[in-house]
Structure 1
Amino acid sequence: MSKGISYERLIALYLPWGLAIALKGDPSLSYIVAWLGSFYIFALTLSGWVKPLPTDLSFGEQLMRPIILVHIIFAGYMACTSIFYFFNLLGYENFEKISTFFVVDQNKLLTLAQCQRYYCLGHAAFVSGILVFMHYPEKQKFTFDQERTASLLFYTAIMSFPAYMVFNRVPGLSQFSNQFSTLSFIAGTLALAFAIPEKKIWNTVICLVLYFSNFYTALTSGFKEPIIISVMVLGIFLYPNYKKVVLATFIPLLLILFLLLPTYASIFRENAWSGDVSGDAASQLALDAVLNNGTDDDVSDTNWSFAVYRLSEVDMFTGFVESTPDKVDYYEFDIIKQAATVIIPRIVWPGKPSTEDLVMERVYASGVIRRGSRVSAKPAYIVDAYLSYGQIGIFAGLFFYGMLAQLISQKAEQLFGGYLLGTALIFSGLFQIFWRGLSFEFIFNTIFWSYITMHLIHFVLKSKNILRPA
């Protein structure tokens, strides 16, 4: 358990949720209080008011720890992105009123406010799980030669990529390929951040090739997240050595990506997923449309639609809240039991049901998506927590989620000689799923096998005498 935490201050994190409940008679006001509550939680926790932030490293040198990066990305995406849906529900488009005669759907507004209160509760519970178990500096059980850090990162990036290729070709082991793909990207980006200030020309060139190879893969995936993550992670790793340059370039670059990527992804999918053109050609068409041919109105419309229905998952959450428990009973422990069976590898259980199909069954049962639809609408982690036990499920599930992220990060630092290899490389490379939070089945399966992989990597490095007892 942690030291130095004030449980009275921990309770203060739940005040916005309590106030939003007291104001639920006015759904708009209740929503705003709950939405602003997440910024209040960010302020109290990231400032160290509830519990002091770790002092073993400067703030910029520990950005990948759960209390900072995982917290900001996971809670920010979960609890802060619904604001566009709220304005859209009130009759706004691009923050301009559509018509003075627009009639607000009060039932939808009530449900939205209820969901935002759940988000606020989930945010408070999630960060509570992190803070209660956050204890630094963690006593390291192993150490390594600090002077070989750059080379170790470089060779990890080089060796992880073929491991990804091998697992990708073995039926039933594809989940391991995803782990090593992410690990290769994180290791390569870290190695690049080390090679640049050390002026290692060949390491820099090879790492740049790896980085842009990953960036190109992200660009032709049809998804926005991998592109944003590619840029963000490089900025985070370069920040300790190039603070002013990173702030001056990467923050504006990320803002530009948020503005342009919805239009780019929409045009790319239109062309590539139809099968009419190749991924390369679709990427070129999308880039040309965004940079040259797209009008400001086209970009604004696409961005607003993306912000309302794709940036946040609150529209789907409202559908689940409207159906459970009124039409569909709480699942209690059924989803957790199902998630436990998913852990069994397909190579051991060839007849294992499709995880996607298992998850979609509760989507169909809720009526959020009609059976037979080609749309995938997997519930987020907080939704599965709600479907299990309502508000109690949200508190328990999100507290457990924060606790798990914190304990695994600290275990990685114990096993790999500190923050750099433990959290920045291994935790961020193998457990990136904590950043987003998917359905229970995907979360539990990925975390379980990533934990096994973490120990296997530790065993290999220890047997090669790269890691030595501290």
Structure 2
Amino acid sequence: MRPIFLTQLIFAGFMCTTSIFYFMDHLGYRYLTEVNYGAQFKESEQTALIASCQRMSLLAHAALVTGMLMVQKNRITIKSVKTFEGDDFLIWLGIIVFGIGSLAQRFSGLSQIALPLTLIGISCAAVLFVKGFNTKNIKYLGIGATIFILNFIHASLSGYKEPIIINIIVIACIFFPYYKKLILYSAIPVAYVLLYFLPTYNNTVRQSWSGEVSAEEAQNQAFDNLNSKNEEQIEDTNWGFLTRRLSEIEMFTQFVEYVPDHHPYYDWEIVENSLEGLVPRIFWAGKPNMETVSMQRVYDAGVAHQMSTVSAKTRPVVDAYLSWGIVGVFFFMLLYGMLVQHFSDLAESLFGSYELGCVIMFNSIFQGLWRGNNFEFMFNNIFWGYVIMWFLFYLLRTIKVLKPTFD
């Protein structure tokens, strides 16, 4: 679960590989079937825009990996070790941190720390589940499975695809060292099932958002819709998801068409907005809403209408391009790769192991960096994630869960 594997895989898959569906749609295909059979494809301005955005995505991927390799350490100096044998501390760490995170979610001013803490609890549960499964430890298996499954059920009722996919990625990555062939062989079938059923399932579950039905009722209806009688509806929904939602290449082309021809590069404006977002609202009552600020450039570019309910926030590659063009994409993603790798190595060093440092702490606290977000939200994740990581390090030292090494 180190960045050179997991972050790179997710970034390349999301930003680069998925654009093939949108390009096939542009060529006149629906899945592998040519819709306009016999009609000759003609290159257009949109074709050039798609190619330009694909090249920038590839450049971003290369810069990301280069940044990781530039700062990656061959040997990480361990600054702490556990004070006792066994993994019982993961039970208490997971339950306590998950509880604090769940409680913090009830207060809007604490949202910056609620999600990372909750994710740490879920990661502890996933590690306990895998350890219990491999060692046949009923205690670890029962506690880990209970927390993880409850979270998975909650994710399935949310109406969002990402939490479900993330849960599967986490559990697969933790199982991978023990069952390499099984995970590799099952990856494509599982991905196919998810991509086939998940869009239709979530669209139905989202009916509960209006309040007319409960999440549980919407979920039951979603399962009823996933049958062979609705095959055409499922395929239509899925193709729209693959071309417009899974891949964000279409939105990227709209931004490239808008900047710089119709709007000059934003230069440092987006960065300045992002730095303002780091100030807690408790200290600045009049702080602008970062969701509103970040969506304004989406509306200005015509990517989404102001009256629509869709959230079409940009990704780091897009914001880097909007700020400084192609040069900005390269240098920002280079820095992005360096930061991600540094945080991972630092977490392993502070918490004394790959498992606690990288798997649990880094990939929970900085999970938002797997594929990135707009600058406003990503800067917030980086800054407050860094603060939370050091806070937890000193907390575990204080309560004697970790002790310093004397190397």
Q: Please indicate the TM-score interval, normalised by the length of the shorter structure.
A: over 0.9
Are the equivalent residues in 1 in contact too, given 2:83–2:403 (CA < 8 A)? no
Q: Deviations over 1:412-456 (max 9, x none)?
A: 111000211111110011000111211001000011101100001
Paired letter, 1:348: F
Choose the corresponding residue for 2:223, options 281, 287, 293. Answer: 287
Residue deviations 1:238-273 (CA, integer Å, cap 9, x gap): 22233344445565333312221112112222x223
Structure 1: 5+ residue stretches without partners: 1-63
- Letter matched to residue 280 of structure 1: E
Q: How high is the TM-score relative to the length of structure 1?
A: 0.83
Give deviations 1:55-92, integer Å, cap 9, x for gaps: xxxxxxxxx10000011002221111100110101111
Q: Could you tell me which of 349, 357, 363 is aligned with 2:298?
A: 363
- Aligned residue pairs total 404
Amino acid at match of 1:106: S
Q: Which amino acid aligns with 2:210?
A: S
The answer on whether the counterparts of 1:231 and 1:250 sit within 8 Å (CA) in structure 2 is no
1:177 maps to a residue whose letter is: A
3-state SS in 1 of match to 2:306: coil
Deviation at 1:121, TM superposition (A): 0.8
Residue of structure 2 equivalent to 1:426: 361
- 1:351-376 Cα deviation digits (max 9, x unpaired): 22111100011112222223333322
Contact 1:331-1:388 within 8 A present in 2 as well: yes
SS in 2 for 1:143: strand
The answer to whether the 8 A contact 1:153-1:191 is kept is yes
Query: Would the aligned equivalents of 2:131 and 2:140 in 1 still touch at CA under 8 Å?
Result: no
Higher relative contact order (CA 8 A, sep 6+): 2
Kindly provide the amino acid, as one letter, of the partner of residue 463 in structure 1: T
Structure 1 residue 306, shift from structure 2 partner: 0.9
Which of 314, 322, 326 pairs up with 2:257? 322
List per-residue Cα deviations over 1:121-163 (Å, max 9, x = no partner): 1111111100111112211111224732x21222221111211
The aligned residue for residue 97 of structure 1 is 34
Give the 5 Å matches for 1:248-327. Answer: 248-249=185-186, 252-269=189-206, 271-290=207-226, 292=227, 294-327=229-262
8 A Cα contact 1:66 1:406, kept in partner: yes
Question: Pick from 79, 82, 85: which aligns with 2:16?
Answer: 79
State which of 379, 393, 396 in structure 2 corresponds to 1:458.
Answer: 393
2:57 equivalent among 119, 126, 150 = 119
Q: Partners of 2:305 and 2:43 in 1: how far apart?
A: 22
Q: 1:79 to 1:453 in 2, by over 3 A?
A: same
Q: Is the Cα–Cα contact under 8 Å of residues 124 and 144 in structure 2 kept in the other structure?
A: no
Deviation of 1:232 (Å) = 2.0
Q: 1:320 to 1:210 in 2, by over 3 A?
A: same
Query: SS state of the match for residue 412, structure 1?
Result: helix
Which one-letter code corresponds to 2:279 in the other structure?
I
SS in structure 2 at match of 1:369:
coil
Q: What residue identity is the alignment partner of 1:339?
A: S
Equivalent residue letter for 1:144: K
Corresponding residue of 1:142: 80
Q: Distance in 2 between matches of 1:235 and 1:88?
A: 31
With over 3 angstroms needed to count, the CA separation of the structure-2 counterparts of 1:370 and 1:298, relative to structure 1, is closer
Q: Deviation digits for residues 149-184 of structure 1, max 9, x if unmatched?
A: x21222221111211122112341112111111111
Output the aligned Cα RMSD. Answer: 1.7
Q: Quote the sequence identity (%).
A: 39
Equivalent residue for 2:351, pick from 416, 432, 437 = 416
From 70, 78, 81, the counterpart of 1:132 = 70
Maintained 8 Å contact 2:83/2:400: no
Change (3 A) 1:245 1:119: closer
Which segment drifts farther, 171-180 or 332-341? 171-180
